[in-house]
Structure 1
């Protein structure tokens, strides 16, 4: 009887719309072939709970139903039955039609999202067998999906509780359940099967939320408004189900202002009249938190927010101290940066404390355009992670990076005009044209341009910054050299401009070495990969005993897999005499934290670095984020591939990357 009630709970919405082209029982037969190639009649009878005679009848009906469905069931004498796919595209269409009628999840991703929603909203334990019946899959498939779902729940401090003969359920704080639900209800990716119970609430919530925000003149971006609407709809469903926020959050009011609470009251008062539903006081504070997480109604300087200011200042002090220890940039003395970070951190602490997501649509552009600022921000966010015991997302690190980028730009010294020597074997007119082109298009960057003939020995003066040459030089002038053609084109001008404005304290090509390259890195976990590369680095550098522990601690606070199959672990502080990068290529990719990784770059910044590292990180980022260069490295596993790529990048203008 209990299982019947559970089935009714799961199927109630489906059965009202069920018009399946293929009979349900036939799908039961097909699902028997999911986990095995051969199925006997006895196994089918046991699995379906029917007699052998019924099995024969079902097989006969299945063959007829699949005649145009791209598959057939064949009898294998002495063994059993096998399912043969004769037309993969037709069979895929048949399976898709199965789910299209009633929104039943078909793909693994859809099943997992549905499983998350089901577990988060269930009132009691649910048996895996019941879930399998609802999804038309095997219990083994559901168990495999559940194994994939558990890490997602764990990210929100939720656990799956298993009880023999009762099933599974999610346990955790109500706020954590709601935050996790918000990641599941995604109309762009969820099937109707997963969100149809929420849609009416979303529509009503949107009407009232937008009216109140307009009335108060609150400048929230569309993404933020949609987030508020979604959370209001989820809260409404939870309150209807009797799952309200109670004693799990103590003194919630300390994180919100009167103005924020007033807006939340207006929204929920309207909904109470519309829905004849009562929202407890804690629900009102919970909604107010979404405005506090963006802090658009009040200034952080308000006296009512003094406790938040004190906390934010303490956290920002830690952020800047960690950055100075790790990068030696001296940013702790930047009062403007400190004030901006304090203002940004007040609502950020609310978002982190209550796991409120604020997607960053510009994240990838921030990584590419401000690589040093992003690296600094990730390091700085470890102070937040320590303070709250929660990992800071890449999205939030990206927002913090913008403040560091602004500070780094303010610190950038005024561009010094350069002294250039041109070596040319062209005739007088051609050489004169090169001079005119360079002076006319790059005059703002050049202090002097001296031309010498190839008949003269090339001797760079002490103040020479760059040598341009139309021929191969027999001797090294001791300064950067750029080969140009006898006729300067736009590409040459861009290359020259890049070299004139680049003044890195550490040249990217100098930090890689063949001794620190492991073409076949033998590691199955991030810990093992970091340990092997650290041992490799010790063969060349005298590293402190705490180096490995520092890198591993840093990794737990903020992961360094930034995408493109690359991870860039590094220590909490600068600890080596020289800046170096140890590179390892894994034979098979491993799961790092967020992404699969196959190239690991252990980076250590010299304790003697004190200049601007912007260009160093710019070049390093362009290399590590280049799909073409990383693919070449993985395929070749040759150190020369790194050399060629770095040379190409450092001589290639940014816009051509």
Structure 2
């Protein structure tokens, strides 16, 4: 009999397995940072799932594990293995080499299991990134180009963000005096009524802030101004202090207000500086994410007050967060260390986890669109219905229809992310294709779900790589220029001034222009150098109030590519920009963009 245990139940069995004597519910609760009541309820549920008393209790003594031969199911083993693999990657990235035996001890596993994990990791990363984990003289190290090693870190960061789900029961047990489900529904209702887009993870984060605020009623004055705080009070009678209200408004993309914006300026500058350092170690750039910077600056501003008053926040999701999001939490710890240097104030692990939640939300937003899936099946509506019903249980999937294998235009019309087929297909090389061998077999849909997750991670990685080419310093609004050469000079000078290219880059751009035109319509021009020689990849954007003549065309929007030799997303970068030609409304919005943040949000809108 296969028994599915949740994470808390698994931990309770782990604790009891290590004990020879009885443990009370309070002792177990203390070890796991949960309530005694939760421990009692979980043990009842464990026994119910096994249909026997695998955990016995004795009045006045506590609990003990009667059956120590209990085996954990495959999913629980997978979670533990994945966490270990991420820890191995982190250790290897942060150090040039790691002692083989010390790493096994640190992970509390045998050397044979460490070997198994290394073998699995090498299988995952060798083909994708051309990087290998090597062992020499009992030292482990990455072998491969530095840029490829950095891609490994980014990949696992994005993989962590793809699994951002939390068990609501943890919050229900911690905030037992509150109706957590009702409060969550109230937040969701407000979001829906006001047509505010937030991810599931952001909803969980907002819920946690609201609940935590109820445990800190002494802290600051209340906020009952128009907006979410007033709505929450009218629906639930719950009050929010000024800090929480401001942070939630920021999550809902509402204005910080001039006084808050100026108060946070010091922390925004601090974060921009720290994010530059993080980019060097983790190869991920948060410095252009204004939404993240604003939200986190506000958090740090109030964190100073909490530290001084010795009232740091508690986070009931702390242990789960530390276990699931090793790399994200590690970056948050780095920020807290820099915060200590700046303020001489120490943020405890609960406060660090809130910083990590901001980072995780930013990572998750790299890929918020649903994956488009089409079906190729000749077997009629009944079979289609069975498959579609199964797909409805997979999150972040949009079903786009069933097509004949002869209808190539129909299959590719919506640019699907995944083609599911019941017949052999070999015509759709640019698309991910999965052949369903047995549509009645549940394992097929587990494999499809795994593939969906993989596609989302790859897409998020691609989006991140492309997004990092754009920079506010490379965004230009120009009234008019005399010629296209004048414009090229201005844009190349801008790239040079901001450290993206060498001084001779302009010569390579003119050389490319002399070979063939880089403008194909009255809408946009895409000049670039004759080879990938930039110091770092960047795209300079120029929006002209008056069009400039460019090889017989009158152009108002110009993208100048400066790409380094490691940039591997050229087709997708072109696709992103050329999509503007196919969408006149989008093009009009782009050329009317008053600032960089508006421009980039329009450009990236609707990208998977």
Whether TM-score is above 0.5 comes out as no
Could you tell me the TM-score, scaled by structure 2's length?
0.29
Could you tell me the TM-score, scaled by structure 1's length?
0.27
